[in-house]
A and B are shown apart, each in its own frame.
Chain A
Amino acid sequence: MKKFSSLLHNLILTPSRNTKIKLLQDYFKSLDINSAYALAILSDQLSFQFIKASKLREIVYEQVDQNLFDFSYDYVGDLAETISLIWPTKKEGKSLSLSTLIENIKKIKKSEINAEFSKILSQLSNNERWTLIKICTGGLRIGVSERLVKTALADQYNKSVNEIEEIWHGLEFPYKDLFEWLKNKTSKPKIDFRKLFHPMMLANPIDEEKDFKRLNANEFQAEYKWDGIRVQLMVSSKSVSLYSRTGENISSAFPEIIEFTKGDAVIDGELLVGKNFQPLGFNDLQQRLNRKKASKDLQKKYPVFIRAYDILFYKGKDLRKLYLLERRKYLEKFQKENKTNRIDLSCIINFSTWTELAKYKNNFNDDLNEGVMIKLKSSEYLPGRKKGYWYKWKKNPKLVDAILMYAQRGHGKRSSYYSDFTFGVWKEKELVPIGKAYSGYTDKELIDLDKFIRNNTTNRFGPVREVKKEIILEVAFDDVFPSNRHKSGVAMRFPRIHRIRWDKPLNEILSIEEFKKEFKIS
């Protein structure tokens, strides 16, 4: 555990990619059970169902005054770090290996978690405690992607990173077959590709100034960018399964897709809510998300379908090395052959110049898409976010000026800065909050806002500070919906701080009625 915790500590503090790779390779020198756990942790595949953040709080409250913990957590902005630092017992026990420690935790009986887990925390050093809690809560956020770990391994054991990538989703802890192959003791692990989730091809945002000068419009095809969730559908005569973009199996949440899909293919597309292939907004889709199951009622009220835009396998044939244009022909064929499907095709936009395409992108009457996708006609299906093949070109955001009302400290990278901002507009003579944003500003703007907040706090509610009402924020957002959860009656989608309007007077801010009118909310 000492070794693994210092690996994480060093990884988080090292800015250089090469040094990170070196640190990883140092750790993966021997490929044993500890490395297997490390690999599972670094790729976020290990989690303890029974030790969640709420459980950890419960455990720490047994040791530390709750108010003192809350003050500290608010300040640090990271649960693992707060607990590791505030933990009162500093006696270090004998150091266990990563695997022994995890296996010991797995053995804890549910009824004894609090006492047993406390005991373990007390035997660790600060840094080990931090590591263990990070492992429990998942999502390390140490600036190391899964891809970087694979790159380090590939480089260390003379394999290509794409080879690892291809078989990755077919591998399982404790990665015996992978390790043996890396050590050249066996051949590459055999994976049934038809059952396997295939990492998706992702798009880069377009740089309007640079890219359009460089790219030839004729070589690209465009489609609308739909505002749903990205899915991969695997259908064969034996089974149908649906995966999210991260490779999580989400079949049980969308039974109507599973039931009504036929054929033999792997399809890439967007899951949307709507009847007769008429998509509804993201707000409706949200009713179907984050659920393990969907009741009949829910299926009826919010039916889902897939808007397909790519095909990876057709009747057992791997199409990923073909050009997009050719894959599209297979996709159309698949769709024609299986008419009963809950699948339609993403339509292709005809355009000959980028200026012409801009008209489609900015079509504000159609709020259901977020802009356009631009794809190289001759692109193979490549996993990850490779440059030069697929681009996304988002609509210009909607903008509104609002008054800064409250602020709270941020988390992670921005911990201890006041970086979460609640802003509002007028409702008669009072202000009513319309949203909260924690991104979009420059580092300099963040420092300025942080300073303003510290010097102009008028009231405190726990971690939240109310501030003097004098800063106007220009807020950009993707969309706004009616909502009965908020006092203002509106909910914004992806609000972020566009800029600070140091110049604008308060009385030029809209009222909530004007705001609703402008963005067509009844």
Chain B
Amino acid sequence: MDFINHQLFIKDINVHIDPILPKKTAIITHGHADHARFGHDHVIATRQTIDIMKIRYGDKCAKKFTPLQYGQKYSIKNYDFTLYPAGHILGSAQILIEKNNHRLVITGDYKVGKDETCKNFKLVRCDTLITEATFGLPIYQHPDPKDEIQKLIRSVKINRNNCHIVGAYALGKAQRVMNLLRQNNYNETIYIHGSLEKLCQYYSKEKINIGKFEKVSSKDKNLYEGKIIIAPPSALKDRWSRRFPNPIICMASGWMTVKQRAKQQGIELPLVISDHSDWNELLDTIKKSKAKNILITHGQEDALVYYCKTQNLSSKPLSIKGRSDEEME
């Protein structure tokens, strides 16, 4: 594992994982903007991740694309790369790198819990595990998303004269919230912020059940009384959200676990729905991977590093520049 540096760069063959700046060869774990960027020469990723990059940045956002299926091996010199489902969002992948019998897994962002909007996480045994740690503190123990979505459905039933605006990241979370609503028999049209439209259409095309949706228009404000609107978190603070009738501001995110966080952001109805693993899932993955060497990226590394040491696992944080430790997608 000396072959990869703290920036997830393999110098030997000039390959980067999720680089921030334009590079020659980039393997991309998933389509979120802090991982998938514009301007690489050669992008290697799942077909869905490539589709998503093209939707977001245009068809020419890289010179060359190589789509890989989950489980399909791709070799560069004596390095073998295989993508496995990460369960984070549609198209998200972990990367297994094999070299001289050493197995290294980069999880990317992942969650273990069930999710109908993407292929579910697959555990990959390895010698070295590079895991994310977005929610790497024992206070993060995500509740059943079904209970959380029920809170929203109940609030909509009680507050008929209000409209509920749910903050959710445009890619992945928004569609997951829509899918959860459908799973829980909410069958009305869901209204979406314009910036979500193309991605929602793509999810529909990929046969993900997000039901009937419609872009909000500025026509008749009262149309949205008693309705659910989904918008990116940035729009919640914007004037955009003020035009709706008596909005109740909701947010679907793992960050909503901490009440003070919700309050700081002016969220009235926090919904703890996360696309990242919680503390117990992180520990479980580390354990089951059988890896002896654990590297921990972006998030709350301290507690996880400490935990690994108590388990006699070699462990250290990897600080990757350009990823803020909070507020990522």
List the interface of chain A (C-beta within 8 A of B): 9, 12-15, 64-65, 67-69, 71-72, 75-78, 81-82, 85-86, 90, 130, 412-413, 415-416, 454
User: Which B-chain residue is minimally distant from A454 (CB atoms)?
Assistant: B325
List the interface of chain B (C-beta within 8 A of A): 137-141, 257-264, 266-270, 300, 302-303, 306-307, 310, 325-326
A415 touching B260, Cβ below 8 Å: yes
CA distance in complex: A378, B210 (Å)? 67
Question: Counting chain A CB atoms within 10 Å of each CB, which of B257, B259, B263 scores highest?
Answer: B259
Inter-chain contacts of A9 with B (CB < 8 A): 259
Q: Which of these, A14, A67, A68, A413, contacts B260 with CB under 8 Å?
A: A413
Inter-chain contacts of B326 with A (CB < 8 A): 416
Inter-chain contacts of B310 with A (CB < 8 A): 65
A13 touching B267, Cβ below 8 Å: yes
Contact A85/B139 with A13-B269, A13-B270, A454-B325 known, Cβ cut-off 8 Å: yes
A71 touching B137, Cβ below 8 Å: yes
Contact A90/B141 with A15-B268, A67-B306 known, Cβ cut-off 8 Å: yes
User: Which B-chain residue is minimally distant from A10 (CB atoms)?
Assistant: B268
B138 touching A12, Cβ below 8 Å: no
Inter-chain contacts of B261 with A (CB < 8 A): 415-416
Contact A86/B138 with A13-B259, A412-B260, A413-B260 known, Cβ cut-off 8 Å: yes
- 10 interchain pairs (CB within 8 A)? A13-B269, A64-B138, A68-B303, A68-B306, A71-B306, A72-B138, A82-B139, A90-B141, A413-B264, A415-B261
Inter-chain contacts of B268 with A (CB < 8 A): 13-15
Question: Counting chain A CB atoms within 10 Å of each CB, which of B140, B270, B303, B306 scores highest?
Answer: B303
B139 touching A13, Cβ below 8 Å: no
B141 touching A85, Cβ below 8 Å: yes
CA distance in complex: A322, B300 (Å)? 61
B307 touching A68, Cβ below 8 Å: yes
User: Which A-chain residue is minimally distant from B257 (CB atoms)?
Assistant: A85
CA distance in complex: A454, B326 (Å)? 11
Contact A12/B263 with A68-B306, A85-B258 known, Cβ cut-off 8 Å: yes
Q: Which of these, A14, A76, A413, A454, contacts B139 with CB under 8 Å?
A: A76
CA distance in complex: A454, B306 (Å)? 20
Inter-chain contacts of A71 with B (CB < 8 A): 137, 300, 302-303, 306
Inter-chain contacts of B141 with A (CB < 8 A): 85, 90
User: Which B-chain residue is minimally distant from A80 (CB atoms)?
Assistant: B259
Inter-chain contacts of B300 with A (CB < 8 A): 71, 75
User: Which A-chain residue is minimally distant from B258 (CB atoms)?
Assistant: A76
CA distance in complex: A221, B303 (Å)? 59
CA distance in complex: A12, B300 (Å)? 26
User: Which A-chain residue is minimally distant from B280 (CB atoms)?
Assistant: A88
User: Which A-chain residue is minimally distant from B255 (CB atoms)?
Assistant: A416
- The smallest C-beta distance from B328 to any residue of chain A, in angstroms, reads 14
CA distance in complex: A68, B300 (Å)? 11
- The smallest C-beta distance from A72 to any residue of chain B, in angstroms, reads 5
A75 touching B137, Cβ below 8 Å: yes
CA distance in complex: A458, B41 (Å)? 36
Question: Counting chain A CB atoms within 10 Å of each CB, which of B140, B262, B263, B264 scores highest?
Answer: B263
A72 touching B259, Cβ below 8 Å: no
- The smallest C-beta distance from B188 to any residue of chain A, in angstroms, reads 25
User: Which B-chain residue is minimally distant from A71 (CB atoms)?
Assistant: B303
User: Which A-chain residue is minimally distant from B261 (CB atoms)?
Assistant: A416
Inter-chain contacts of A68 with B (CB < 8 A): 137-138, 303, 306-307
B306 touching A130, Cβ below 8 Å: no
B262 touching A13, Cβ below 8 Å: yes
Please give me the 10 A-B residue pairs with the lowest Cβ-Cβ distance, nearest first.
A85-B139, A71-B303, A415-B260, A72-B139, A72-B137, A86-B139, A86-B138, A13-B268, A68-B138, A71-B302
B139 touching A75, Cβ below 8 Å: yes
- The smallest C-beta distance from B152 to any residue of chain A, in angstroms, reads 14
CA distance in complex: A164, B247 (Å)? 34
A130 touching B259, Cβ below 8 Å: yes
Inter-chain contacts of B138 with A (CB < 8 A): 64, 68-69, 72, 86
CA distance in complex: A71, B307 (Å)? 11
CA distance in complex: A200, B268 (Å)? 34
- The smallest C-beta distance from B18 to any residue of chain A, in angstroms, reads 20
Q: Beyond A75-B139, A90-B141: 7 further Cβ-contacts under 8 Å?
A: A13-B259, A13-B263, A13-B268, A68-B137, A77-B260, A412-B260, A415-B261
User: Which A-chain residue is minimally distant from B303 (CB atoms)?
Assistant: A71
Question: Counting chain A CB atoms within 10 Å of each CB, which of B138, B139, B269, B302 scores highest?
Answer: B139
Inter-chain contacts of A12 with B (CB < 8 A): 259, 263
User: Which B-chain residue is minimally distant from A83 (CB atoms)?
Assistant: B139
- The smallest C-beta distance from B246 to any residue of chain A, in angstroms, reads 10
- The smallest C-beta distance from B145 to any residue of chain A, in angstroms, reads 16
- The smallest C-beta distance from B124 to any residue of chain A, in angstroms, reads 27
Inter-chain contacts of B263 with A (CB < 8 A): 12-13, 413
B258 touching A415, Cβ below 8 Å: yes
- The smallest C-beta distance from B298 to any residue of chain A, in angstroms, reads 12
CA distance in complex: A78, B257 (Å)? 13
Inter-chain contacts of B262 with A (CB < 8 A): 13
- The smallest C-beta distance from B185 to any residue of chain A, in angstroms, reads 24
Question: Counting chain B CB atoms within 10 Å of each CB, which of A68, A77, A81, A415 scores highest?
Answer: A68
